[in-house]
Amino acid sequence: MPKVIKSYVRIIDKLNHGVGLFAMYMIFFMMAVLLYSSFSKTFSVPALWTLEVAQFTMVAYYLLGGAYSLQMGSHVRMDLAYDRWSTKTKARVDSITILFLIFFMLVLLYGGISSTMYALKYGETSRSIWAPQMAPIKIIMNIGIVLTLLQTISIFFKNLATATGKDIT
């Protein structure tokens, strides 16, 4: 494998590992927001912003964590045939089928960018009483999608390396 690809894989993996560690602790932020929400409802005036902040946190949680979850191999596969193949066969098939996954991510990103452009241009706000700007969360979503896309490409290179018996680290 060319040196460029090797360093791409190394850098992306490291970056997404870091982002993933950050994302996974966001669950405590979610809990704190929701706990505050129930307190404010019981003991004083209900807070208006908690619902949406919790939603924004969740979407950031799984999009920013997407790449790390790929690294951990958390995503299920239908392993009827897959489980019986050798490592090499798995890698060969994967390096083709992952192109479908990459295509899906590209379409997702395309839609994300166009939706974010719209939000920025017209100052789109959420249709709620709190009415926050939508652009910031959409930008965060796009960052998550880009990072996940970069990770799938890194996995593609790794599959390719295994399939052809070359070294990538």
Partner 1 sequence: MSYDLIALLMFSSMMILLITGQRVYGAIGFVAVIFALFLWGDGGVELAFSANMKLMKWYPLLTLPLFIFMGYILAESGIAEDLYKMFHVWMGPLDGGLAIGTIGLMVVISAMNGLSVAGMAIGASIALPELLRRGYDKIMVTGVIQAGSSLGILVPPSVVLVLYGMIARQPVGKLWLAGLIPGLMMAGLFIIYIAIRCKLQPHLGPALAKEERNISWGKKFSLLSAGIIPLVIFFSMTGLFISGYTSLVESSAVGAISALIAAIARGKMTKQILHDSVQKTLGISCMFMWIILAALAFGAVFDGLGAVKAIKTLFIDNLELNPWVILILMQLSFIIMGMFLDDTAMLVIVAPLYVPLVKLLGFDLIWYGVLYTITCQIAYMTPPFGYNLFLMKAMAPKEVALSDIYRSVTPFVLIMMLGLALVILFPQLALWMPQNVELNR
Q: How far is the CB of 32 from partner 1 (least distance, A)?
A: 8
55 binds partner 1 (CB under 8 A): yes
- Could you say whether residue 4 binds partner 1 (CB under 8 A)? no
Please state, in angstroms and rounded to a whole number, the distance separating the CA atoms of residues 22 and 12: 15
**Residue of 11, 110, 117, 166 interacting with partner 1 (CB under 8 A):** 110
| CA-to-CA separations, 65 to 20, 31, 127, 147, in angstroms, rounded | 5, 17, 27, 9
Q: What angle do CA 155, 111, 59 make, to 5 degrees?
A: 70
Q: Print the binding letters for residues 56-95 with partner 1: x by CB under 8 A, - otherwise.
A: x-xx-xxx-xx-xx--x-xxxxxxxxxx-x----x--xx-
Task: For residue 153, state whether it binds partner 1 (rule: CB under 8 A).
Answer: no
DSSP 14-44: HHHHHHHHHHHTHHHHHHHHHHHHHHHHHHS
Q: What are residue 125's DSSP bridge partners?
A: 133
Residue with tokens 């927001």: 33
User: For partner 1, which is the closer residue by CB, 1 or 30?
Assistant: 30
Considering only the stretches 5-13, 109-117, 160-168, report the one whose residues sit in contact with partner 1 under the rule CB under 8 A: 109-117
Alpha-carbon distance 65 to 53, whole Å? 18
Residue numbers of the site for partner 1 (CB under 8 A)? 20, 23-25, 27, 30-31, 34-35, 37-38, 41-42, 51, 54-56, 58-59, 61-63, 65-66, 68-69, 72, 74-83, 85, 90, 93-94, 97-98, 100-101, 103-104, 107-108, 110-112, 114-115, 141
